């Protein structure tokens, strides 16, 4: 039993992406609670006894975190290396920005792209050179980093060196017959008959440049990238070379016969521009890089981001009526038939009939539209960010479908030295909150989006935990997590800061606002209840931390609506009306969209590193399955040796094929969590399979499960 863990039991995931070893997952927090139930112990990847850990709030505060990895033999020698990963526990109160302090941001995924080349792709590297025993790189921003091999045991061997300037490109060596289009030709200083050249690929000559062989193209595929920018040779070894490309830093130790990516951990060099979509069903988080390519973090992934191609990518392209406007389009957003478009000349266009007619609006001094966000509950309402001639970024609002836009930029924002640049904005339409990312802080404003006036500042939350400026800011669909895209370090997220007003009551399993069932678990954000009642009956408060809580509804006769009445110890109250059904199954989800589905024999979570096998027994953790037999009291963990089967009939589907379940019961050691055991079909394709459970013919969310035939 892990003692001293917090009742929220939040965990942080760290992926050793260099060796693609099994993810290491660490507990966060250290307050105990005293109700000897269970939570998911991801450190050992098994179900282990803990103080009561609310899985739903665990999900809210958990995220994939990239390890700080150091190669033991220099930057990715190609040999088997041991990577050191460390983590600092993050308490729930810090994650939620308690007491107005700096937010502790958690990296989402890593900074690698699985591009189908010789290895994972990293951010673009402009230059590479050697200086003594050190290796230097310069990234596109102009920053220079040094890798000192003697520092291999340090937490990160890449060190920023602002006082170092990139040297001129190596002197162009002469070659009798250079490759066509070669931009750089370098002979080895100790063996001048060995000559390398950069062109459409890397070339090598062993006869002083009379003939060259291509090294990095295979069946039309550029193995290390198409834009090869620089090359550095090891003066002591003619077969050891480094190449800088738009896909990162690459190394060969056998004269270019094989290649592997060099780890650049510690160098923030993953330029993204915006979030495109949050996880849904088998789709993961989608983001665009600065070149416009669509990237996906597949649910349960470990190795890196995947480039979306084919229909997966084109389905997120601009609609035809927007594409017809050409290169002038800088941003757009759509809800149903209402489309808003921002142009590079400062004009804002809108159509409510799929482009048959357009409304146009602009004002003098508006130079370029930066972003547009449509209110999903009222498509006539939208916000836009607009670059102005003065250098300021303005926040604009329309309430009439784009016929008129007004400037609602808060007083002083964008004009003061402290918060000069608006980087992004995220409206919470439901709760009247506007979050603005400036160059120095996340600013929290109270704002009635349909009323006259400007937003009123509530709190400034410093950006100290973010590496570099923000490029995009989004609330997730539940409104309980905040995501940002940074200029060079990828995606970060956190639980909603405590300073953000409003009470949000969501289903614990998937953080949705869907209907609940008797005995269901709900997560409460923005309120700290001491008591709770559901339709007059006592509800169980399982865990409280800061301004968050987990509540279990009582079992009993279902009703169409549940009135959840909560009160604080100080006498404040909140009433939430929840839709209710007799059963309403939901499978627990991680923030990256991966489900809490386990290998039945080991208790390990199924993911990309530990996929399920065809014919294997799996355990699905869910909520909302309704009554059990015999009855059980809400709020109490189920004894280890007790069995409380679900009263309603339960089935499961895998890729649409209906399967009987071996058992469906309350999970031993848990309060309010059900365990459904299923035997997978004996024949399944490699990759993601879609799993769903049905309780009395009511379907749960569809979740992706990694499967491999091995």
My answer on whether 237 and 337 are in the same domain is no
SS3 of 58, please?
helix
Quote the CA–CA distance of 83 and 77 in Å, as a whole number. 12
d(CA 50, CA 31): 12
Q: Which of 228, 261, 294 is the last residue of a domain?
A: 261
Q: Same domain for 199 and 242?
A: yes
Q: 485 with 522, same domain?
A: no
Residue 497 lies in a domain: no
Q: Residue 553 maps to which CATH number? A: 2.60.40.10
- Contact yes or no for 291/272 (Cβ under 8 A): no
Per DSSP bridges, beta strands 11-15 and 305-307 are unpaired
Residues 249, 293 share a domain: no
Q: Are residues 658 and 512 in the same domain?
A: no
Residues 125 and 171 in one domain: yes
Same structural domain, 608 and 684: yes
CA atoms within 13 A on the CB side of 303: 15
Can you state the percent helix, strand and coil of the chain, rounding each to 5? 5, 40, 55
Residue 112 DSSP label: -
Cβ neighbours for 281, distance < 8 A, ≥ 6 positions apart? 690, 701, 702, 703, 704
Domain CATH number, residue 363: 2.120.10
Nearest-5° Cα angle at 703, 702 to 706: 145
Q: Which residue has the tokens 């809400």?
A: 634
**Spans in the chain with pLDDT lower than 70:** 1-102, 116, 149-156, 414-420, 557
- 499 within domain boundaries: no
Strand pairing class (285-289; 338-343): unpaired
Kindly state whether residues 457 and 315 are assigned to the same domain: yes
Residue 1 domain-assigned?
no
Q: What are the Cα distances from residue 129, in Å, to 28, 147, 231?
A: 40, 11, 7
Task: Decide if 4 is inside a domain.
Answer: no
Residue 480 in any domain: the answer is yes
In the listed set 230, 261, 292, which residue is the last one of a domain according to the structure? Answer: 261
By the 8 A CB rule, do 418 and 404 touch? no
For position 120, what pLDDT does the model report? 86
Same domain flag for 45 and 77: yes
DSSP state of 150: G
472 and 520: one domain?
no
Phi-psi region of 209 (alpha: psi -120 to 50; beta: other; left: phi over 0): left
Domain housing 563: 504-579
Supply the pLDDT for residue 266.
81
Non-local (6+) Cβ contacts of 554 within 8 A are: 518, 519, 534, 537, 538, 539, 540, 634
Give dist(CA 637, CA 392) in Å, integer: 56
Question: In terms of domains, do 639 and 604 share one?
Answer: yes
d(CA 432, CA 619): 41
Domain contains 496: no
438-442 — which CB contacts under 8 Å span 24+ positions? 438/413, 438/463, 439/463, 439/469, 442/103, 442/473, 442/482, 442/497
Residue 564: closest CA among 531, 604, 610, 597: 531
Q: Is residue 182 part of a domain?
A: yes
Distance CA 597, CA 586 (A): 12
CA atoms of 653 and 697, how far apart (whole Å): 11
What pLDDT does 24 receive?
Answer: 28
Is residue 107 assigned to a domain? Answer: no
**Based on the structure, what is the number of domains in the chain?**
5
Look at residue 420 in the predicted model and tell me its pLDDT.
60
H-helix segments, 62-130:
92-95
DSSP 331-387: EEEEETTEEEEEETTS-EEEESSTTSS-EEE--TTEEEEEEEEE-TT-TT-EEEEEE
- Last residue in a domain, options 537, 561, 579: 579
Let me know whether 430 and 519 are in one domain.
no
């Amino acid at each position: 039993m892990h003692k001293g863990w917090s009742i929220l039991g939040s965990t942080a995931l760290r992926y050793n992406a260099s060796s693609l070893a099994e993810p290491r997952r660490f507990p966060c927090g250290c307050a105990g609670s005293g109700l000897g139930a269970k939570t998911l112990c991801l450190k050992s990847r098994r179900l282990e006894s803990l103080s009561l850990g609310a899985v739903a709030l665990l999900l809210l505060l958990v995220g994939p975190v990239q390890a700080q990895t150091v190669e033991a033999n220099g930057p990715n020698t190609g040999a088997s290396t041991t990577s050191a990963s460390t983590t600092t526990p993050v308490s729930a109160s810090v994650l939620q920005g308690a007491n107005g302090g700096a937010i502790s941001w958690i990296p989402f995924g890593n900074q690698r792209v699985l591009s189908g080349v010789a290895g994972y792709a990293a951010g673009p590297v402009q230059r590479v050179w050697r200086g003594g025993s050190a290796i230097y790189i310069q990234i596109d921003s102009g920053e220079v980093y040094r890798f000192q091999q003697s520092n291999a045991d340090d937490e990160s061997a890449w060190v920023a060196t602002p006082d170092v300037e990139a040297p001129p490109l190596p002197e162009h060596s002469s070659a009798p017959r250079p490759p066509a289009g070669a931009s750089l030709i370098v002979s080895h200083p100790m063996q001048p008959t060995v000559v390398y050249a950069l062109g459409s690929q890397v070339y090598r000559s062993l006869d002083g440049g009379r003939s060259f062989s291509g090294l990095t193209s295979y069946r039309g595929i550029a193995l290390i990238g198409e834009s090869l920018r620089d090359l550095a040779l090891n003066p002591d070894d003619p077969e050891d070379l480094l190449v800088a490309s738009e896909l990162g830093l690459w190394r060969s130790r056998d004269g270019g016969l094989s290649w592997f990516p060099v780890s650049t951990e510690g160098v923030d060099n993953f330029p993204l521009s915006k979030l495109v979509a949050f996880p849904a069903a088998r789709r993961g988080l989608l983001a665009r890089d600065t070149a416009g390519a669509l990237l996906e973090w597949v649910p349960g992934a470990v190795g890196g981001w995947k480039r979306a191609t084919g229909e997966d990518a084109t389905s997120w392209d601009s609609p035809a009526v927007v594409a017809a406007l050409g290169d002038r389009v800088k941003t757009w957003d759509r809800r149903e038939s209402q489309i808003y478009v921002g142009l590079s000349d400062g004009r804002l266009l809108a159509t409510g009939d799929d482009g048959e007619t357009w409304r146009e609006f602009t004002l003098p001094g508006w130079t370029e539209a930066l972003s547009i966000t449509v209110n999903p509950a009222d498509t006539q309402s939208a916000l836009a960010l607009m670059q102005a001639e003065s250098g300021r970024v303005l926040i604009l609002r329309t309430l009439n479908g784009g016929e008129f836009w007004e400037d609602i930029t808060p007083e002083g924002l964008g004009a003061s030295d402290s918060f000069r640049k608006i980087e992004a904005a995220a409206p919470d339409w439901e709760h009247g909150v506007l979050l603005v990312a400036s160059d120095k802080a996340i600013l929290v404003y109270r704002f009635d989006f349909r009323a006259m006036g400007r937003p009123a500042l509530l709190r400034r939350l410093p950006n100290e935990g973010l590496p570099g400026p923000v490029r995009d800011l989004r609330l997730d669909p539940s409104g309980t997590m905040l995501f940002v895209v940074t200029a060079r370090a990828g995606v970060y997220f956190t639980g909603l800061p405590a300073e953000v007003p409003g009470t949000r009551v969501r289903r614990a399993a998937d953080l949705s606002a869907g209907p609940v069932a008797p005995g269901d678990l709900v997560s409460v954000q923005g309120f700290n209840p001491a008591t709770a009642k559901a339709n007059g009956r006592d509800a169980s408060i399982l865990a409280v931390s800061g301004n968050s809580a987990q509540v279990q509804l009582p079992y009993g006769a279902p009703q169409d609506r549940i009135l959840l009445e909560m009160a604080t110890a100080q006498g404040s109250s909140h009433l939430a009306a929840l839709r209710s059904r007799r059963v309403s199954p939901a499978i627990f989800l991680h923030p990256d969209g991966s489900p809490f589905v386990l290998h039945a024999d080991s208790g390990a979570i199924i993911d990309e590193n530990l996929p399920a096998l065809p014919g294997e027994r799996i355990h699905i953790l869910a909520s909302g399955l309704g009554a059990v037999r015999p009855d059980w009291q809400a709020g109490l963990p189920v004894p280890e040796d007790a069995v409380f089967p679900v009263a309603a009939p339960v089935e499961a589907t895998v890729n649409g094929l209906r399967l009987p379940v071996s058992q469906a019961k309350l999970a031993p050691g848990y309060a309010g969590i059900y365990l459904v055991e299923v035997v997978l079909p004996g024949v399944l394709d490699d990759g993601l399979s879609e799993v769903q459970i049905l309780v009395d013919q009511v379907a749960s969310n569809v979740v992706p499960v990694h499967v491999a035939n091995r």
